Each structure stands twice: as structure tokens, then as C-alpha cells.
Amino acid sequence: MRLILASSSPRRRRLLSQTGLDFDIIEPAIDESRREGEAPLDYARRLSREKAEAVAAALDASPALILSADTIVALATGADGIAEDGELLEKPRDAADAGRMLRALRARAHYVITAITLKRIGRPERVITRHACTTVTMRDYSDAEIAAYIDSGDPFDKAGAYAIQNEVFRPVARIDGSYSNVVGLPLGEVKAALRDIGYRPREGA
């Protein structure tokens, strides 16, 4: 069965490549606006489903399995450890917005949530949506380091305005949970979901 990654993110492409699976890429086109009153976890799960559905609508009826994902950064959590309220830090609009986010995250913990959806086209059709949550504590970086990082251009396509894997800025002091989730695709959850949906790699994978 053909596996399709519904993502424009080069980081997700690299992570999925680490599994050794053969996959194609189709970038979804959806409105990613958050609905009024929508809880962060609900928001991430909805977007992951809508990305999969958008790609499915563009395909013919041949069997395929679509993998999509959406990652959010949240400053607050509910009692169960999953963000329910508080500010979301999405992709920064500009340098000033990136600086605001990085200062808000400095020397404190926040939460990175990635929702994944697997949508199987063909019989039997099936959809699985799951999520991973990682607690991330940032180091006490300086204003000068923030400015240099923003000047590098790296923050602008990333939720929360940072990349954990950036080897120059190195913004993170420690994490509790999946590292690959913070990069953008929780590989443990992806592999488990692939097994549960009965995925069999196509020949040559």
C-alpha cells in the first residue's frame, strides 16, 4: 500500500525517512486558523485530520495510507498534563513576534503537542488520530542570543519560534517525553499507529 506523508515540513520528511519506510509527499492545503474557544489539543487533532482529508480528496480511489501531523506549543496545561487553556505559540509573524515568544519561553517549561492522523483509503477505510505531549524546559539564554537566532532566520517556520535541534542556539535545557515529537513527528506513536492500522509497506520499501 502506498504511504503518503501529508506535510510541507522538511523536518517531518527527515524523521519519517529514519523509519526506513518508502513514502511519497503531497502537501495539504487547508485553513489552519484556530476556532474561537477551541482547546489546544482539539485544535491540533482537528488540523491533523483535516490535512489527511485534504490530501485524500485529491487522490483517486486506489489504496493508500495518508499520514498527517500538526504540532503546537502551549504555555499552560490542564490537570491531566495536556494543554487546555493559556496561550499558544504558533509560527511567528515577524522578528518582533519571534522575540516575544522566545522571551516568554526563556528559563521555563512549556508543552509541545503533536497530533497525528492515519487515514486509509480503500477497503476497509479507517482513520486513527493520536497525539504525543512533551514537556520542554528552556535554558536561560540571553537577549543577545535571541537576537542572533532571529537574525539566522531559523525561527520563522516553527511553532514557538525555535528548533530544538539547532546546534548554534541550543535553546532547550531538558525534555520529558519524545524528542522527535518536539522536532515535529513523534515516531513512537507513528510506528504504533501504523501497526494498529495494519499497514504493510509496498514492495521495494
Distance CA 76, CA 13 (A): 29
Contact 189, 15 (CB under 8 A): no
Question: Pairing state of beta strands 64-74 and 109-121?
Answer: antiparallel
- From the list 60, 7, 2, 17, the residue with the least C-alpha distance to 199 is 2
Query: Which residue among 22, 42, 70, 151 is the active-site one?
Result: 70
- Whole-number Å distance between alpha carbons of 116 and 22: 18
Residue 97 appears among annotated catalytic residues: no
Among 34, 33, 28, smallest CA distance to 66 is for 28
**Per-position b or e across 159-194, b if 16+ CB within 10 A of its CB:** bbbbbbeeeebebbeebebbebbbbbbbbebbeebb
Q: What 3-state class would DSSP assign to 161?
A: helix
**DSSP code for 198:** T
Which of the residues are catalytic?
Answer: 70
